[in-house]
Structure 1
Amino acid sequence: MSKTEQAYQKLRHDILFTRLLPDTPLNLKKLCDTYGFGWTPMREALARLESEQLVQSRENRGFTVASVSEADLKDLTKARLTVELAMLREAIEFGDEAWEEKIVTTHFRLSRSKVDARKLTDADFDAWEVLHDGFHRAVLAACPSKTLHYFYDHVNAQLLRHRKFLAISPAIKAARDGAQDRENVLRSLENAVALDGHTAIMNAVTDRDVTLATELLTAHIQLTRKVFSVAKPKV
């Protein structure tokens, strides 16, 4: 990979997994020192990330990591429903036996990830998220539309930041430490990472039950918003 591509990949990863938190100022010199790249690759990487709406450029203030908000989450959820449900229907229509086997395999891998919402760590969440993303991509893999896959990647990246922010936000951590609405927050978070919902989606998809699969995926996509609305993290 070129230096620009390397800088882009490293910055993007740290933004998506909130190593760089929303609204963090991105000082070019500090970034170059931290990541070990020159000014040109880092500037080009930031420009590319800005085009993906992961970085914001503000007049006379330089770059910052893009914000997260309940309004953005609502909009992203709506976009995900539009794109992913269309992909799901096409995947069920065009998927073959190899596609079904991949779904079962990724579901098994996800089942091996033991995530405790009451003791959730950054490392636990990151490991779960990789497997979670793999399962959903397997479900949608048979969709033949390259354009839908492109939009899915964009929306999914933004939603990953919101999910990770919720997993590590002060509101969630406070709930696990005994805040007043502890059980509501934990229940919402447990539902979001539960295997049962993914198992039901897998069964409906491999049974080619479009109606049930659509209903289940619609409910599943709404879970992040539910966690956000219960936890009400300060953003």
Structure 2
Amino acid sequence: MAKPRAPELYKRLRAEIVLGRLAPSQRLRLEDLRTRTGSSVPTLREVLTRLSADGFVIAEDQKGFMVAPISVENLRELADLRKLVEMEALARSIEAGDMEWESRVVAAHYKLSRSEARMQAGEAAARDDWKRYDWEFHQTLISACGSRELLSVHAMVFDKYLRYQMLFLTFRGGIAQAEHQALREAALDRDVASAQAILSKHIEGGVAHALAAYADRERAG
């Protein structure tokens, strides 16, 4: 079987970190990763170095690599950065988006709303679908912004922010559903101010929910 190439392995390990399958502060032992992924040690070093440069992994002198830890301060910083980047990209996208963009927004929201309904019904298996479609919806909303660099920065920040949501399963139920619906409508109505206000409230609500879950985990030990 062919060994995975560095770009493929990067995506896989980054996804495992974002989805919480590799836990915060977990040691990343090269031999364990080599056995599990079928990759070579040089390729693993290359990938882990790139993940370190992107902030998903910490490289420690003489100690190897570990998954980046989590903290309240980091979550708040990521939320502020996400708002800054996503609100700018959203405004540009609403102003420039064409009919094809509108149809993609509608389709992305449909998938998200269906997965949210499954989450509301208590389907644990819907967890990964819910976050994938949440990511897709927000990415689609800003996809017409006209800036690859802005989209790239947003994808990086969103994944780091998403990691906290996946760790604490911070689904806010009907509140988040209503915000997504309102965000879709404001975007399709080309109402930049309303869309940005809804997005800001949506992100702040998610942070508050995640912080409450984080505090509960800390109290539980």
Instruction: Settle same-fold status: TM greater than 0.5.
Output: yes
Superposition deviation, residue 147 in structure 1:
1.8
Deviations 1:11-39 (A, max 9, x none): 11111111111111000011101111111
Runs (4+) off by over 6 Å: none
Tell me if structure 1 keeps the 8 A contact 2:119–2:130.
no
The equivalent of 1:190 in structure 2 is: 173
Taking the aligned partners of 1:96 and 1:141, their CA distance within structure 2 comes to: 11
Structure 1: which 5+ runs fail to align? 173-187
Taking the aligned partners of 1:226 and 1:111, their CA distance within structure 2 comes to: 22
The equivalent of 1:37 in structure 2 is: 39
The equivalent of 2:200 in structure 1 is: 218
Superposition deviation, residue 116 in structure 1:
3.1
Taking the aligned partners of 1:92 and 1:12, their CA distance within structure 2 comes to: 30
Tell me if structure 2 keeps the 8 A contact 1:17–1:161.
yes
Aligned length: 214
**Cα gap change, 1:227/1:117 in structure 2, threshold over 3 Å: closer, same or farther?**
farther
Superposition deviation, residue 224 in structure 1:
2.3
Is residue 60 of structure 2 the alignment partner of residue 58 of structure 1?
yes
The equivalent of 1:162 in structure 2 is: 164
Tell me if structure 2 keeps the 8 A contact 1:191–1:223.
no
The equivalent of 1:25 in structure 2 is: 27
Pairwise mapping of residues 73-222 of structure 1 onto structure 2 (< 5 A)? 73-113=75-115, 114-116=117-119, 119=122, 121=124, 123-167=125-169, 189-190=172-173, 194-222=176-204
Tell me if structure 2 keeps the 8 A contact 1:28–1:39.
yes
Equivalent position SS for 1:75: helix
Equivalent position SS for 2:172: helix
Taking the aligned partners of 1:26 and 1:111, their CA distance within structure 2 comes to: 36
Deviations 1:177-221 (A, max 9, x none): xxxxxxxxxxx73256x3211110000110011111111010011
The equivalent of 1:11 in structure 2 is: 13
Is residue 48 of structure 2 the alignment partner of residue 46 of structure 1?
yes
Superposition deviation, residue 117 in structure 1:
5.7
Superposition deviation, residue 118 in structure 1:
8.2
Please provide the CA RMSD for this pair: 2.0
The equivalent of 1:179 in structure 2 is: none
Equivalent position SS for 1:63: strand
Superposition deviation, residue 140 in structure 1:
0.4
Deviations 1:123-146 (A, max 9, x none): 422111111111111110110122
Identical counterparts, % of pairs: 30
Structure 2: which 5+ runs fail to align? none
